[in-house]
Amino acid sequence: MVLVAIVLVSLVTNILIHKEFEKYAKEQQKTRIADIVANLVHHYNYPDQKWDFEFVHGVGMLALYDGYIIRLLDPDDNVIFDAEKQDTRACAQVEKDITERMEKKRPGLKGSFVSHEQELKWNNQKIGRIVIQHYGPYFLSEGDFRFLDSLNILLVALGILALLCSLTAAGFLARRISRPVIKTAYIATQIAEGNYKIRFDGDIRTRELGELVSAVNHMAVSLDNQEQMRRRLTNDIAHELRTPLAAVASHLETMIEGVWDPTLERLQSCYEEIERITGLVSALEQQARLESDNLRLEKTSVDLLELAHTVAGNFESESFKKKVAVFVSGEETRINADRDKLNQVLANLLSNAIKFTPENGQVRITVSDTHHTALITVEDNGIGIPKGELPLIFDRFYRTDKSRNRLTGGTGIGLTIARSIVSAHKGTIEAESEAEYGSRFTVTLPKA
Ligand code: ADP
């Protein structure tokens, strides 16, 4: 584009300059002839009715060197001065030079020597006649052509300079745009092939490209996280299932081989393990459902206090069996939320609290309404959670050593599910605890 523009501009400029110069040359010719005539008339000796031959000769020879061949006649057509007669050789030379020069430089002009005739008058009285021959329609001197040539050279030089500058700038810009694009395309291909660790590092000064690159980097990070999560999940599931399955398999094998009698307790123990595995699988299923749903919430106005009472009611027989007292207190607190999912959160927290609180312990659910948020706390005076393990209990399959040792059952998924649901409501869930003294779980939910 730049090249075409430069060539076009140079051509148009060139043509315009030549046209203007042609006009200027024609004007010059007219002026020169008028000058010659005025000069001669001015020096006419009117009182004596005579031409000053010396002067006319001077003017004629000077004009000859400029390319004008003059013949001056008196009113009776007697020749006063004739350049061709005065210096035939010089005249021929001038004619030849100009014709050759013009034919060479302006072959299309097809000019020739033309003659211009004019009557000379002084005070309205005829004093003679002048015949001026010159190359027409116009002619240019050697100097004029030199000037035009240097103008052309200048134009070409400027064109080349502009081209070089624009090529450099275009090259720089192209590289600045194409390099990150090519690299991003390569990175995208790598990501498609499963290399999620790859990142685009380096500075990008073009805003749009910067956005593209950070989007690709962001995608790589997300895919990497997902991949890690997927691997961890597969590992965790395999790990969680392997131990109970191996135990059941070895128990059954020993009984089949006749080493152990298949007593009721042994069969019962195998059955409990299988029950636990079934529980684990259904908890996993539930979490998978929650995740695949992308946690779609069906929000309605929910009174959290009423919900707490309902959940506590559902656990009545369990708490009764375990001799754990459950108290619900607080104020009516309405928020916009998914009732079933919050029911699940409270059920998981309450079930844990009852499970990890020894006989005659207490569990307290409190609902309170702060200005912008609703708080639900589930507090117990049970076995508590050691400080070091507190940050881990929300991880999938995490169960504290104590809860494992006490064979309380459980899958280690309940709190993970609770946290997913609370996060989907843009809330938070926190745990405080002191080993042997009890735990407190606080759910904070935004009211809007
Ligand atoms: P699960 O209860 O099925 O094992 P959770 O994800 O609900 O799984 O809990 C993870 C772990 O956190 C439990 O195994 C237990 O060790 C610990 N935990 C949860 N709630 C309490 C609590 N109220 N008191 C003591 N430990 C708790």
212-240 residue pLDDT tens: 999 999 999 989 988 887 888 888 788 87
Residue 438 CA: which ligand 1 atom is closest? 24
305 Cα: distance to centroid of ligand 1 (angstroms): 23
15-61 residue pLDDT tens: 998 899 899 999 999 999 999 999 999 888 888 888 888 999 999 99
Angle (deg, nearest 10), helices 339-355 and 304-314: 50
Q: In the chain, what are the domains? A: 2-140 (3.30.450), 207-290 (1.10.287.130), 297-446 (3.30.565.10)
- From atom 23 of ligand 1, which residue's Cα is the shortest distance away? 353
**Given the DSSP bridges, would you call strands 325-330 and 300-303 parallel, antiparallel or unpaired?**
unpaired
330-345 residue pLDDT tens: 999 999 999 999 999 9
Residue 238: the pLDDT is 86
Q: Tell me the average pLDDT across 189-202.
A: 90
Residue 231: the pLDDT is 87
Binding site membership of 344 for ligand 1 (Cβ less than 6 Å)? no
Listed in sequence order, the DSSP H helices in 127-206 are 142-192
64-84 residue pLDDT tens: 999 999 999 998 989 999 999
Residue 412: the pLDDT is 84
Confidence of residue 122 (pLDDT cuts 50, 70, 90): confident
pTM check: above 0.85: no
Residue 408: the pLDDT is 60
408 Cα: distance to centroid of ligand 1 (angstroms): 10
Q: Tell me the average pLDDT across 105-117.
A: 88
Sequence letter at residue 255: M
Residue 297: the pLDDT is 86
Binding site membership of 381 for ligand 1 (Cβ less than 6 Å)? no
The neighbour count for residue 33, using CB atoms within 10 Å, is 18
The neighbour count for residue 352, using CB atoms within 10 Å, is 24
364-388 residue pLDDT tens: 999 999 888 999 999 999 999 999 8
What gap in Å lies between CA 392 and CA 42, rounded to an integer? Answer: 118
352 Cα: distance to centroid of ligand 1 (angstroms): 6
Residue 348 CA: which ligand 1 atom is closest? 7
Residue 346: the pLDDT is 96
> DSSP letter at 45?
B
Is it the case that residue 154 has pLDDT exceeding 70? yes
Binding site membership of 322 for ligand 1 (Cβ less than 6 Å)? no
Nearest to 241 by CA among 211, 278, 271: 278
The answer to whether 112 touches 135, Cβ cutoff 8 Å, is yes
118 Cα: distance to centroid of ligand 1 (angstroms): 124
Binding site membership of 415 for ligand 1 (Cβ less than 6 Å)? yes
Binding site membership of 377 for ligand 1 (Cβ less than 6 Å)? no
Residue 229: the pLDDT is 79
Binding site membership of 280 for ligand 1 (Cβ less than 6 Å)? no
301 Cα: distance to centroid of ligand 1 (angstroms): 29
Angle (deg, nearest 10), helices 142-192 and 88-105: 10
Helix (H, G, I), strand (E, B) or coil at 3: helix
The pLDDT mean for the chain works out to 90
Binding site membership of 397 for ligand 1 (Cβ less than 6 Å)? no
What gap in Å lies between CA 367 and CA 395, rounded to an integer? Answer: 26
Nearest to 313 by CA among 302, 327, 298, 295: 327
Phi, then psi, of 361 in degrees rounded to 5: -85, 180
Binding site membership of 353 for ligand 1 (Cβ less than 6 Å)? yes
Binding site membership of 382 for ligand 1 (Cβ less than 6 Å)? yes
For the stretch 102-107, contacts whose Cβ atoms lie closer than 8 Å and that sit 24 or more positions apart, written own/partner, are 102/135, 102/139, 102/140, 105/140, 105/145, 106/140
Q: What's the CA angle centered on 13, arms 15 and 110, to 5 degrees? A: 15
Is it the case that residue 405 has pLDDT exceeding 60? no
With b for 16 or more beta-carbon neighbours within 10 A and e for fewer, the 269-285 pattern comes to ebeebeebbeebeebbe
Two tokens at 152? Answer: 């052309």
Instruction: Give the mutation target among 280, 286, 399 for probing the ligand 1 site: most ligand atoms within 8 A of CB.
Output: 399
Binding site membership of 439 for ligand 1 (Cβ less than 6 Å)? yes
Nearest to 18 by CA among 144, 201, 135, 123: 144
236 Cα: distance to centroid of ligand 1 (angstroms): 17
Residue 101: the pLDDT is 92
339 Cα: distance to centroid of ligand 1 (angstroms): 23
Binding site membership of 379 for ligand 1 (Cβ less than 6 Å)? no
Nearest to 365 by CA among 329, 332, 333: 329
Q: Tell me the average pLDDT across 405-420.
A: 77
What gap in Å lies between CA 368 and CA 87, rounded to an integer? Answer: 126
Binding site membership of 403 for ligand 1 (Cβ less than 6 Å)? yes
Residue 380 CA: which ligand 1 atom is closest? 23
Q: Tell me the average pLDDT across 352-375.
A: 94
Residue 63: the pLDDT is 93
Binding site membership of 399 for ligand 1 (Cβ less than 6 Å)? yes
Q: Tell me the average pLDDT across 285-295.
A: 74
What gap in Å lies between CA 186 and CA 208, rounded to an integer? Answer: 18
- From atom 12 of ligand 1, which residue's Cα is the shortest distance away? 393
